Amino acid sequence: MPGNLIGERFVTMSFGESHGTCIGAVIDGCPAGMPLSESDIQKELEKRRPGQSAVTTQRMEPDKVSILSGLFNNLTTGAPICMIIWNKDSDSRTYDTVKSVPRPGHSDYTSFVKYGGFSDYRGSGRFSGRLTATFVMAGAVSQKLLRHALGIETVAYTKQIGSIRLEEIQFDDARKNRYTNDIRCPDNEVAKKMREAILKARRDGDSLGGIVESVTVGMPVGLGEPIFSSLESDLSKALFSIPAVKAVEFGSGFAGCCLHGSENNDTFYKDGDKVMTRTNNSGGILGGLSNGMPLVIRIGFKPAASILRPQRTLNLVTGGEVELSVPGRHDPCVVPRAAPVVESMISIVLADHAIKSGHVPAVLNG
């Protein structure tokens, strides 16, 4: 498959460019008989919409979704669901230099080589963070399917910005509070410090990276198709598709690698009929298969590459070195808007696996 498709039984295709006519997503393989409306999608889109705060880009996009196919009487039909957002507030003028002067840390140079100079470089084209709105459209359908059919729910939030880290948090608190501030960190005190760090970076013409943590509850046992489509395999593949992601870990992650087996193993016990583990260092996955405990994933986002502060780079046409300052309406930190994107990509993968393993019927009951 070319790169704009993900999934095998529940397939998402993304299309569109940052500064083109529109951006969109098509889902093929959604079971028939599921209630779905544009407001289901819109609700999720609002969570990642730009222009909402001082810590994000000032591009003002209404990001209003239209569902073009796949629905009949407000129910899915089993046919492909095409969803689209028409681009409104695209300002292409500031991107003209990008064509020949690649921004450090950006896709400009590699995409120029791969596509022979023919790619749409305006606003990074296909490589723009704006395309994550297409992930959220597909993610909204996936989340609805998972909730509707299986009671699965994914909750992602800002875990770290720069060096400021949220300590362990209860799932219910994270779920309830993660959208109470513009940092999407469920602890408002921590969020305040994170905001200050981001604003300072912005003032300095700089950017900051961070970490999103995600917890998924309601998991059945046995999702995943070892060896090569283990749950970690397919989740990481989807998460590394999000621009700026450079690190992914499950459960105790890298820290768990410094431990002994006796410390890191999760021992089994029974809670009524349900098999549980006392700790969850595995992050809910054993042998590449879900074990029924919450999925716990942390995803590292590098600092945004576009910064005002001057950087050395090349002019690809002249071959000489130049100094580049990237103006424009960039996010000084992409993490606050990444939480709904992470929730979406995880849900897209889980929906696919749930269908593949027979946990979701081909037809729902309307």
Partners of 290 in beta bridges: 285
Q: What is the DSSP letter of 364?
A: -
- Minimum CB separation from its own copies for residue 212, in Å? 10
Residues contacting residue 115 through CB under 8 Å, at least 6 positions apart: none
Q: Which is nearer to its own copies, 20 or 51 (CB)?
A: 20
Residue 54: which of 208, 182, 205, 184 has the closest Cα?
182
The nearest distance, CB 25 to its own copies, in angstroms, is 10
Q: Take residue 30 and report the two structure tokens written for it.
A: 């959604």
Min CB(288)–its own copies separation in Å: 7
Nearer Cβ to its own copies (37/180): 37
Q: What's the one-letter identity of residue 284?
A: G
**How far is residue 220's CA from residue 213's CA, in Å, rounded to a whole number?**
21
Q: Which is nearer to its own copies, 37 or 69 (CB)?
A: 69
Helix (H/G/I), strand (E/B), else coil: 12: strand
Q: How far is the CB of 92 from its own copies (least distance, A)?
A: 11
Provide, rounded to whole angstroms, the least separation between the CB of residue 182 and its own copies: 19
CB of 172 to its own copies, least distance (A): 26
Cα separation, 325 vs 97, whole angstroms: 11
Q: For its own copies, which is the closer residue by CB, 122 or 337?
A: 122
Report the alpha-carbon distance of residue 238 to residue 138 in Å, rounded.
13
Q: At what angle do helices 335-356 and 38-48 cross, to 10 degrees?
A: 140
User: In angstroms, rounded to a whole number, what is the distance separating the alpha carbons of residues 304 and 55?
Assistant: 12
Q: Which is nearer to its own copies, 127 or 157 (CB)?
A: 127
Nearer to its own copies, 176 or 309 (CB): 309
Tokens 């729902």 appear where?
Answer: 364
Task: Report the nearest approach of its own copies to the CB of residue 118 (Å).
Answer: 4
Nearest distance in Å: CB 334, its own copies: 11
- Closer CB to its own copies, residue 128 or residue 177? 128
Nearest residue to 19 (alpha-carbon basis) of 133, 135, 123, 126 = 123
Question: Closest distance between its own copies and the C-beta of residue 224, in Å?
Answer: 8
Q: Peptide bond preceding 299: is omega within 30 degrees of 0, i.e. cis? A: no
Indicate the residue among 93 and 260 with the shorter CB distance to its own copies. Answer: 260
Q: How far apart are CA 133 and CA 187, in angstroms?
A: 26
Q: Using the minimum distance from each CB to its own copies, give the nearer residue, 63 or 266.
A: 266
Phi (first) and psi of residue 272, to 5 degrees: 65, -125
The C-alpha atoms of residue 70 and residue 68 are separated, in whole angstroms, by 7
Q: Which residues contact 86 (CB under 8 A, 6 or more apart)?
A: 21, 22, 64, 66
